[in-house]
Amino acid sequence: MAIYKRGNVYWYQFVFNGERVQCSTKQGNPRVARQIEAAQKTRLAKGEAGIETPKKVPTLQEFGPKFKAEIKVHCAGKPRTIAFWEQKLVRLLEFQPLASAPLDKINKALIASYVQRRHGKVAVATINRELATLRRILYLAHDWNEIAAVPRIKMLKGERSRDFVLSHQQEKVYSETAPQPLRDVALLLLETGLRLGEALALKWTDIELDAANGKKLGYLFVREGKSKNARRHVSLTSRAQGMLVNRSLGSKSEYVFANYAGKPYLVTSLDHLHKKVRGDLQLPKDCVIHSLRHTFLTGLVKLAQMPSLLRRSRVMAA
């Protein structure tokens, strides 16, 4: 191989005295790149330049802190997303052969060993999220010229689709059984289709209970969320508005759903409450707390409501 293109610039690669020489020309013009390669070969032949010691490729363990720092920059303001990537990195590093491997030595065989170790212990979806994290790490290392190539990482088949929808009777029993604050949060998710994180992040300044522009009910404003379309106004139903009015009467926090310290509840706290209710009602494990939002969106389609609501459902789609 002489020169080859990586991204927008050309690299050269050749063997000199039994050792591989590889370097970026930092040029996008192939003619100039070949001239730089030829000049380097000449310098080596004349002994004017020795072969540099190959750059040490970091291991996954060594590169981990750089990955976490990059995630914190790109996902600033999204602590749950940052925690997700960091948690998956921890799982990857628990497999010592992978943690101690230089990034350029992480190949399909090593990845297969990791998958075999995890298979049967956790769900396929969990393994796929971990593989996606490894792939993102390797692509970042490639972008930073730590490695020359990224192995193809295939996701496992058989990932379960959690699309459970509560029936009207199940909704009624769930609402009657759920303790606070889950009862009110669940009602808001069922009535508006908000994501759990969006609901817990709501402040009273995001709630407008007074109807405007001739409407009968108020609305809420989602400041930020999972996607670029998450920032939106959402109309309230009479049930959702009634619940918010009741909560506002006794609230002493800026957050709609605040704990004893006045801070928003954690997603994990609501998830624990949901799992207990699910167990008490003997609902299937596919009934996750996100199923409340999915129930709302499915209801829109089944009822074939007005086009404006259907357009909103597409924006809110997971």
Q: List the chain pLDDT tens, one digit each, 318 residues.
A: 578 888 888 888 888 777 888 888 888 888 888 888 888 888 777 765 555 556 789 999 999 999 999 999 988 877 778 888 999 999 999 999 999 999 999 999 999 999 999 998 988 989 999 999 999 999 999 999 999 889 999 999 887 766 788 899 999 999 999 999 999 999 999 999 999 989 999 999 999 988 776 678 888 999 876 666 678 889 899 999 999 999 999 888 999 999 999 999 998 899 999 999 999 999 988 888 889 998 888 776 555 544 554 444 444 443
Fill in the amino acid letter for 168.
H
Name which of 60, 51, 150 is nearest 108 in CA terms.
Answer: 150
Asked if residue 160 lies in contact with residue 264, where contact means CB atoms within 8 angstroms, the answer is no
User: Residue 243's pLDDT is what?
Assistant: 93
Q: What pTM, to 2 d.p., does this model score?
A: 0.58
User: Residue 317's pLDDT is what?
Assistant: 41
Element holding 234 (H helix, E strand)? strand 232-235
* Distance set, CA 314 to CA 112, 177, 185, 217, 258 (Å): 37, 31, 22, 22, 30
Domain 168-316 has CATH 2.60.120.10: no
Asked if residue 58 lies in contact with residue 50, where contact means CB atoms within 8 angstroms, the answer is no
User: Residue 313's pLDDT is what?
Assistant: 47
Element holding 40 (H helix, E strand)? helix 30-45
User: Residue 305's pLDDT is what?
Assistant: 47
User: Residue 228's pLDDT is what?
Assistant: 65
Q: How far apart are CA 220 and CA 3, in angstroms?
A: 57
User: Residue 184's pLDDT is what?
Assistant: 95
